[in-house]
Structure 1
Amino acid sequence: MRKGKKRKEAEQVIGKQDRMGRLFVAPPVILFLMFTLIPMIMAIGMSFTKYDVINPPSFVGLANFKKLIHDEFFWIALKNTCVYTILYVPLGLLISLGAALFLNADQKFVGLFRTLFYLPVLSSTVATATLWFWILNPQLGLLNGILRIFGIPNQAWLYNSRLAMISIVMMSLWAGFGGNMMIFLAGLKGISPVYYEAAKIEGANRWQMFTRITMPSITKTTFLVSTMLIIGTFQVFDQAFVLTKGGPGNATITLVYYIYNNGFKNLNMGYASSISLVLFAIILLMTVINTKINKADI
């Protein structure tokens, strides 16, 4: 009798814990369904339709995807996004890792530098863009002022088709490296000091310790950061929208910006959804390629 009573009480406690767990999990699951999964399913279905928001959607099959093949602006947006990715990902990795190595060293005022480096991540895109509008101003900008010290003439950073994408990359690096820096710093903190002490005893220099101990130890961290950077670069929108509006001459129009133009400016939701589906496939492909490249080291 006592065993049966204890078993019943244990089942009641487990059942209560299970209900509480479901209750705590329910809000994020509902939000995920409402704002992620359901919109994704709707976008997939809408990509096979012609829909202008005003009139009911009409099924057009693969017409939107066939249109993509001959859409000059789609290929321009894809090229610009790839250029942004090629510039941003390696620089983002190097700067984030370099800052993490600096903060991981036994230096004075490390806490202050950590706060200053991470502060741009907390700033809104509008605030960051306002700051960079001043920094990149052709006449009174801080960057041109520094260049004039070295005898370099003023540059029209945001108004030159060759420099506009570089300007967006500079802003993105400044605004986003702090978050990746913290991830790298967490990985560096997980390396045991014993390895470095043993290497010093064997006569290894700093470069040898970095290449033989540090980098192999943070391989998984590097893979995580590089994957996040690749996904983020193919989804870039705020920087181009706020700083350049896709110009000059479509030099900074990206895939997400092109989706925005088609969906919310031209009210061509079906075509915008088809571009979104292609973008999803590209991001998935790039993630798989990055996984294959890093698989041997993980």
Structure 2
Amino acid sequence: MSRTGVEAERRAGWLFSAPALLAIALFFVLPTIASLALSLTDFDIYALADIRNLRFVGLDNYAALLADPLFWTALGNTLWFVVLGVPLVIAISLAAAILVNERMVAWRPVWRVVFFAPYVATLVAAAVVWKYLLHTRYGLVNYALDTLGLQPVDWLGDPRWAIPAITLFVVWKSFGYAMLIFLAALQTVPRELDEAARIDGAGWWARLRHVTLPAIAPATGLVAILTIVAMFQLFAEPYVMTEGGPAQSTVTVLYLMFEEGFQWWNLGTGAAVAVVLFVCILAAALLPALAMRLLHVRRT
């Protein structure tokens, strides 16, 4: 192909990509830059009334944020959601994908719909239903425990149980999407490898460990990254189910940003929380990518 043809293809590529790039710039890049700039000011409800009240404060918002015990509480709660939720989502979604991918399982399309249905359910409505299911006196969960002779648990009113209870709801709500990713990956695994391992005498666990899991490692990394990002962005679940309680035990970083920005109208501080959250998400999401890269280098 001539140089003129290459230049024409390049221009056509930029032309077709322009609408998407423009949308990314308008709705992602510019708001990010604006949030960073806003975090360096004392923009609050008074500045909303009169822009002359706006002052540049530099890193004062970040210094005040790092000195705020509530921020560290929110960060610790968020990390608990990540530590508890990410392994559960990966394990349950992978198990569900393996189940619906088995040729011997009957009604596989029905199982796919059943597993994926929670993901498409309305978040707030599902959270309200789970809130009643976990009710201390009238919830079905404690009714089942009472039937078994166990004491009822204050799932959403006890700081020891609030995060695990919300995590279970989040896992139930989100594992269906991860299941589809694993299912697509499993269908790309050559069946010849599995049959060869079966002929060699490998059992189900050995085939899963040495054939299936290495083949779907990129999908596992993708699910891990997506789940980490989602766990760092938890807001609606604790807002609806516990309103950040009890004793601020379910306040997340995003919940703190909402309170600072839209409840107390400290928009500069809220923007600083958003920037810190972005840095945390970026760092946490890079860890699985780095681990996959090191694993690939070791294999090659």
TM-score (norm 1): 0.90
1:136 corresponding residue in structure 2: 134
Distance 2:265 2:158 in 1: 30
2:189 corresponding residue in structure 1: 191
Distance 1:237 1:113 in 2: 29
Distance 1:26 1:18 in 2: 10
Distance 1:127 1:25 in 2: 38
Distance 1:219 1:296 in 2: 12
- Pair 1:82-2:113 in alignment: no
Aligned counterpart in structure 2 of residue 145 of structure 1, from 143, 146, 159: 143
1:80/1:253 contact within 8 Å kept: yes
2:37 corresponding residue in structure 1: 45
Deviation readout 1:123-155 (Å, 9 max, x if unpaired): 111111122022111122121122122211111
1:219/1:297 contact within 8 Å kept: no
Give the Å deviation of 1:82.
Answer: 0.6
Distance 1:288 1:200 in 2: 36
Give the Å deviation of 1:251.
Answer: 0.4
- Pair 1:31-2:23 in alignment: yes
Q: Larger C-alpha radius of gyration, 1 or 2?
A: 1
Name the count of aligned residue pairs. 285
Question: SS of 2:205's equivalent?
Answer: helix
Aligned counterpart in structure 2 of residue 220 of structure 1, from 218, 221, 227: 218
Deviation readout 1:63-103 (Å, 9 max, x if unpaired): 11111221010000000001111100111110010111111
What is the letter of the counterpart of residue 264 of structure 2?
N
Q: How does 1:1-298 map to 2 (within 5 A)?
A: 18=12, 22=15, 25-55=17-47, 56=51, 57-106=54-103, 107-298=105-296
Give the Å deviation of 1:274.
Answer: 1.0
Distance 1:297 1:110 in 2: 33
What is the letter of the counterpart of residue 289 of structure 1?
L
What is the letter of the counterpart of residue 88 of structure 1?
G
**Runs of 5+ unmatched residues, structure 2:** none
Distance 2:262 2:210 in 1: 51
Question: SS of 1:260's equivalent?
Answer: helix
Q: CA RMSD in A?
A: 1.9
Distance 1:266 1:105 in 2: 53
TM-score (norm 2): 0.90
Identity of aligned residues (%): 33
**Runs of 5+ unmatched residues, structure 1:** 1-9
In structure 2, the CA distance between the partners of 1:295 and 1:26, relative to structure 1 (3 Å rule), is closer
